[in-house]
Structure 1
Amino acid sequence: MNWFALSCVTALTQAVKDTFLKRSLASLDATTAMIGYCLSASVILWLAVAAGPPVTLVAPFWTCLAVGGVLGGVTYWLYGLALKAGDLSLTLPMLAFTPLFLLVTSPLTLGEFPEPGGLCGIALVVAGAYVLNLRERKSGVLGPIKALWTRRGPRLMLAVAAIWSIGANLDKLGLRASSPLFWGAAVYTATFLALLGPRLVKKARAGRRLPGLPPWPVAVAGLLEAIGIVCQMHALPLTQVSYVIAVKRLSIVFGVLLGALVLREPDLAHRLPGALLMVAGVFFIAVFG
């Protein structure tokens, strides 16, 4: 399978797993769902690691893992809250802001500076966010932009995008200190523990039963996430990283379509063009930025 097909599979698995998570959040709280999701993903990833060659860890690994686990716990807690609070077609496109935030965090952490093409990408992402909330123009010209802050789901997902812009740089350091699949398995395990720890303490103090195995939709979501990561890691050596990530962001478009077709979310006429503009912006930032 070539890199483009592998990247498309990654994008599709991302969108489908978010649909499963959104459905499961109708009956679960966000933290419980994300604990089960991270557990399922980490188990599958460790099986993939076990089937591969041995990995040698270097000094920064454990520091990166500790920080990555804490950031992952916060991020996936917010991610679950965002999915629970808003439509897929409004929350998922906010992840397109991650490469925009990277234009700020990467120069500070890795010394990587954007090219002029990145500025075109920023303009497209902002334009897409505007179109996404075009119905809010009744509140004024700035209504669609204000909607990003007044709607809880998109606002929380914007926070996720901002934290991921830091986590992406940390992932790069973690990959250098181990291997792509090993880092993925380890950081999902650390994220699972970061989410589980406070929940166990809270339940123990309240004298309540500890959580059991995750419901099947959450487990399927974790399985899909692991499949997507494995496909992505196999695509990366075949082409430029920026191309893989740009195609992966098609998950935003798939998510908007699944939100309308499966979850019956409204206003596809505005949300799909907005999502397409945001994906185009991601492509410009990834390839030319």
Structure 2
Amino acid sequence: MSTLAFTLIVISAVMHALWNLLVKRSRHKTVFIWWMFVASGGLFTVTLPLVPERFRWPDQTTLMLVTTGAACFVLYHLLNGRAYRGGDLSVVYPLSQTSMIYVPVWGMSILGERLTPPGIAGILLVILGAYSVQMERVSLAEFLRPFRNLASSSVRNALAAGFIYSLGSIAEKTGVRHYSPLYFTYFLVLIMLGLMTFNLLRSRYRPHIAAELREHWGLILVSGPIMMASFLTFRYGLNLSPMSYAVPVRQVSILVGVLIGILFLGESCGRIRFAAALLTLAGAVLIRLG
């Protein structure tokens, strides 16, 4: 994995952790995320005329890939939200990270990516770190706990979210191979915003739209450039590296999230969380070497 691709994806991971921090500080999460996309899409639209890269309309295939990716990522968020309604964080979070199990499989079987032994070891370490970050104690029973009740709707929704995210990653990687990552990201943001707007038309959300803007307009303004930077750096990095490496490396956001929680939110850092963050970092380093 090249230094440039690794650097771009790590920057994306930092930005991803920051915008998740903003979401955590909001009141109505779904409405706030919609406002974040409004801010990001607005900033994108204003700055595009200043970009030297020449614009060209996406062809039918690219437009289909953008739409598929957008639908997958919106569905991922909706499934995650449903999973969290009735499930514990320590169960839902690890299961939603199972996307990283599918991504290398799709990368090798569909996209023809070739992975090195250090790269494979790095992916496995990142998967282990991402999965174990919410464990409450070190034991086999605790490790298998999220899978115990497959009849639970929360477990099924979390597993579906991980699978759907991996499909969106295929669409992204294929799209940025043949089309500008800048404009691919722009159309991705716009289509995701459109799908989220359709969801927010429901009566349960409408009363909170103006209220969330009044209460957190400052966070919404800040979220625009943060989300834009997160999206762009990841897709440029994805264009320069195998998807099987790019998606796991972005999980460095776990380490950043742990640090933010300790330094700014006053959260305690248990030994398991700290060890999981170090596993993720070690895996990212191995992927870089691979």
**TM-score, L = length of structure 1:** 0.74
Match of 1:44 in 2: 43
Paired with 1:182 and 1:255, the residues of 2 have a C-alpha distance of 29
Call closer, same or farther: CA 1:198–1:223 in 2, change over 3 Å: same
Deviates more, 1:36-45 or 1:142-151: 142-151
Deviates more, 1:11-20 or 1:147-156: 147-156
Paired with 1:60 and 1:258, the residues of 2 have a C-alpha distance of 40
Deviation at 1:15, TM superposition (A): 1.4
Q: Does 1:224 align with 2:233?
A: no
Instruction: After TM superposition, list the pairs within 5 Å mapping 1:115-154 onto structure 2.
Output: 115-129=116-130, 131-137=132-138, 140-147=139-146
Deviation at 1:166, TM superposition (A): 1.4
Deviation at 1:54, TM superposition (A): 2.4
Match of 1:265 in 2: 267
Deviation at 1:42, TM superposition (A): 2.0
**TM-score, L = length of structure 2:** 0.74
- Which among 14, 17, 22 is matched to residue 12 of structure 1? 14
Letter in 1 for 2:231: I
Paired with 2:115 and 2:35, the residues of 1 have a C-alpha distance of 37
Instruction: After TM superposition, list the pairs within 5 Å mapping 1:62-141 onto structure 2.
Output: 62-78=63-79, 97-112=98-113, 114-129=115-130, 131-137=132-138, 140-141=139-140
**Residues 252, 280 of structure 2: 8 Å contact kept:** no
Paired with 2:260 and 2:159, the residues of 1 have a C-alpha distance of 21
Letter in 1 for 2:179: S
Deviation at 1:98, TM superposition (A): 3.9
Q: Which runs of 5+ in 1 are unaligned?
A: none
Call closer, same or farther: CA 1:75–1:287 in 2, change over 3 Å: farther
Call closer, same or farther: CA 1:234–1:163 in 2, change over 3 Å: closer
Match of 2:32 in 1: 33
Call closer, same or farther: CA 1:126–1:12 in 2, change over 3 Å: closer
Q: Does 1:21 align with 2:23?
A: yes
**Residues 99, 286 of structure 1: 8 Å contact kept:** no
Paired with 1:211 and 1:247, the residues of 2 have a C-alpha distance of 34
Deviation at 1:46, TM superposition (A): 2.9
Call closer, same or farther: CA 1:162–1:14 in 2, change over 3 Å: same
Call closer, same or farther: CA 1:102–1:265 in 2, change over 3 Å: same
Paired with 2:83 and 2:99, the residues of 1 have a C-alpha distance of 15
**Residues 13, 224 of structure 1: 8 Å contact kept:** yes
Secondary structure of the corresponding residue to residue 228 of structure 1: helix
CA RMSD of aligned residues (A): 4.0
Secondary structure of the corresponding residue to residue 263 of structure 1: coil
Deviation at 1:255, TM superposition (A): 0.6
Paired with 1:55 and 1:207, the residues of 2 have a C-alpha distance of 36
Deviation at 1:22, TM superposition (A): 0.8
Call closer, same or farther: CA 1:166–1:176 in 2, change over 3 Å: same
Match of 2:55 in 1: 55
Letter in 1 for 2:14: L
Deviations 1:74-110 (A, max 9, x none): 12334566789877x9987877654432122224432
Paired with 2:206 and 2:21, the residues of 1 have a C-alpha distance of 30
Call closer, same or farther: CA 1:23–1:210 in 2, change over 3 Å: closer
Call closer, same or farther: CA 1:235–1:191 in 2, change over 3 Å: closer
Deviations 1:30-86 (A, max 9, x none): 321221122222222333433222222223122122222221221233456678987
Paired with 1:117 and 1:145, the residues of 2 have a C-alpha distance of 26
Call closer, same or farther: CA 1:279–1:152 in 2, change over 3 Å: farther
Determine what percentage of the aligned residue pairs are the same residue.
23
Paired with 1:81 and 1:254, the residues of 2 have a C-alpha distance of 26
Deviation at 1:181, TM superposition (A): 0.9
Match of 1:172 in 2: 173
Paired with 2:80 and 2:224, the residues of 1 have a C-alpha distance of 14
Secondary structure of the corresponding residue to residue 209 of structure 2: coil
Secondary structure of the corresponding residue to residue 54 of structure 1: coil
Call closer, same or farther: CA 1:54–1:41 in 2, change over 3 Å: same
Deviations 1:230-275 (A, max 9, x none): 44566678x7567876664422201111123323333433202112
**Residues 236, 244 of structure 1: 8 Å contact kept:** yes
**Residues 149, 155 of structure 1: 8 Å contact kept:** no
Paired with 2:14 and 2:269, the residues of 1 have a C-alpha distance of 22
**Residues 246, 287 of structure 1: 8 Å contact kept:** no
